[in-house]
Structure 1
Amino acid sequence: MFWTAGACSWCRGRPEAATVYGDPAAWAHRWLDQGADGLHVVNLDGGAFGRARKNADLIRAFTRETETFVELGGGIRSVEDAAGWLEAGVDRVIVSTQAVREPAIVRTLADEFGGERVMAGIDARAGEVMIEGWERCRELPRLGGAVREPRRGILLYTNVDVEGGLQQGGIAIEPVTELLRRVKVPVVVSGGISSPGDVAALRKAGAAGAVLGSALYAGKVRLSEAMEAAHANE
């Protein structure tokens, strides 16, 4: 199933580069009212900048008051962290840095909670995997083994080179197609998606889904148009 989701604004790993758009819950309801298939939430306070679980109450409240699908990333460093969010009502957790360091964590979570509830997040810049809020890197060839080894869960691929960079003109499709060729698990793509054409290109390439963020908040693309591209010919 191909789906698109509203995403929180990401600030390229640097708090001083963040763009503030306002109340997250209000934006979440706005995207749902416009037909989003699900919500992709990145808890920046709990992840890249080291202030764990600051938004926990807000996220829990939102999952209680809505029946929408919510996937959550940011600061999930252990099986216990992931389990806590899943048991609190989040539908899917995204494990990024720890999935690169310890690929077996994805298999462990998938075995306990189901593969559809676990996403390994891979952030790549210039062919290298970035970890710890995009501050450190590992070579991309290590990614293939890390993702294939568990053969469970879903992969979220974020191209850091174009993430949040609206001036750069859309996705970079070549790294996506190369990754899709190398891995066997479903791949959802994030980074640089700024037009219905980008969504259509990812669908054609075989991606399992797409996450829209900055382009939605900046008004560069309408969610309804992206959704139409995502579900064309279904």
Structure 2
Amino acid sequence: MSFQDNKMLIMPAVDIRGGKCVQLVQGKPGSEQVVIENPEKVAKKWEDAGAEVVHVIDLDGALESVTNIETIKKILNEVSVPIQLGGGIRSIEYAEELLNLDIDRLIIGTMGIKNPEIISKLSNEYGSERVMISLDSKDNKVVIKGWQEKIDKSASEISKEFQELGAGSILFTNVDVEGLLGGFYVDPVIDLVDSVDIPVVYSGGVTSLDDLKQLQTTGAKGVVIGSALYKDKIKLEDALKYQNIE
């Protein structure tokens, strides 16, 4: 699946923890506000509601290095739209296993930032459109290892490096607003979009249709929506009206 010039893809989030679909506040374990059985059924629900891609994060993998591979396989068997997957990808062998399972796009965070050559290897082997680098920002600095460790660079400062290495897109998450249902900050998104020539997908704090309207002006090619969907702040069918940019 490729990004399109006139589209900002609306991507419902399915975050997996302990084999269940959950929503955390700012990624903190124990802050679960939503817990639903059978994540594959949740993903199917979003597909049936019109989602063109489902964004899946293995929180156990990201936070505890224990993967939910069996649940991921169930999601792949259940839905036919493309799956964008991240969380806990700590080795190139596991990355290749997931890509060979027909994950459409793999989101690589800590491993890619610590070992940038892995981005080049995967993009050369599988195609850059299937490799997305995850840049998570807290206090305007990139954080890794499940948001536990900060590096002394902003997302905009390191984004070009990953474009040159072969990443086909960027997932930008603003941890400062993640899961708080309080809106998002526009300027960091614009700064990042302006710093690279590859698509940027935004995640974090999108709570209302007004947020989506504002995000359309940034140049972002996609947006991940989690808590707002699960808490009925936004209905997916309404959000999808903001997918096409005039």
Does the alignment pair 1:173 with 2:186? yes
Q: 2:116 is aligned with what amino acid?
A: P
Give the one of 138, 144, 149 matched to 2:164.
149
Gaps of 5+ in 1: none
Which moves more between the two structures, 95-104 or 126-135?
95-104
1:73 counterpart letter in structure 2 = G
**Cα deviation 1:119-159 (Å, max 9, x = unaligned):** 10110011110111111101234523532331432100000
Aligned to 1:4: 10
Q: Is the 8 A contact 1:122 1:129 kept in 2?
A: yes
How far the C-alpha of 1:19 sits from its partner, in A, is: 2.4
**2:17 match:** none
Instruction: Identify the residue that residue 239 of structure 2 maps to in structure 1.
Output: 226
2:128 and 2:166 in contact (8 A); partners too:
no
- Equivalences for residues 67-146 of structure 1 within 5 A: 67-141=80-154, 142-146=157-161
Are residues 1:45 and 2:60 paired? yes
- Unpaired runs of 5+ residues, structure 2, are 15-22
Structure 1 62/144 Cα, relative in aligned 2: closer, same or farther at 3 Å? closer
Q: CA separation in 2, counterparts of 1:215 and 1:110? A: 33
Distance 1:151 1:84, change over 3 A: closer
C-alpha distance in structure 1 between counterparts of 2:137 and 2:99, whole Å: 26
CA–CA separation in structure 2 for the residues paired with 1:97 and 1:204: 29
2:53 and 2:160 map into 1 onto residues whose CA distance is 29
- Structure 2 CA distance for partners of 1:27 and 1:116, relative to 1, 3 Å: same
Equivalent-residue separation in structure 2 for 1:106 and 1:59 (angstroms): 22
2-structure distance, mates of 1:206, 1:10:
27
Among residues 9, 30, 36, which one is paired with 1:16 in the alignment?
Answer: 30
Deviation at 1:225, TM superposition (A): 1.3
Deviation at 1:50, TM superposition (A): 2.5
Structure 1 residue runs of 4+, over 4 Å off?
Answer: none
| Identity %, equivalent residues | 36
| Aligned partner letter, 2:26 | R
Conserved 8 A contact 1:11-1:17: yes
The more displaced of 196-205 and 206-215 is 196-205
Please state how far the C-alpha of 1:5 moved relative to its aligned partner: 1.1
Match in the other structure for 2:49: 34
* 1:37 to 1:149, Cα distance in 2 relative to 1, 3 A: same
Residues 184 and 103 of structure 1: CA distance in aligned 2, closer, same or farther (over 3 Å): farther
**8 A contact 1:60–1:89 mirrored in 2:** no
Aligned to 1:200: 213
- Segment of structure 1 superposing worse, 107-116 or 19-28: 19-28
Aligned length: 229
Amino acid corresponding to residue 222 of structure 2 in structure 1: G
**Secondary structure, counterpart of 2:34 in structure 1:** coil
Letter aligned with residue 34 of structure 2: V
TM-fit CA distance, 1:114: 0.8
SS in 1 for 2:36: coil
Query: Is the counterpart of residue 162 in structure 1 residue 177 in structure 2?
Result: yes
The Cα of 1:183 is off from its aligned counterpart by 1.8
SS where residue 119 of structure 2 aligns? Answer: helix
RMSD, aligned α-carbons: 1.6
Does the aligned pair in 2 maintain the 1:125–1:159 contact within 8 Å?
yes
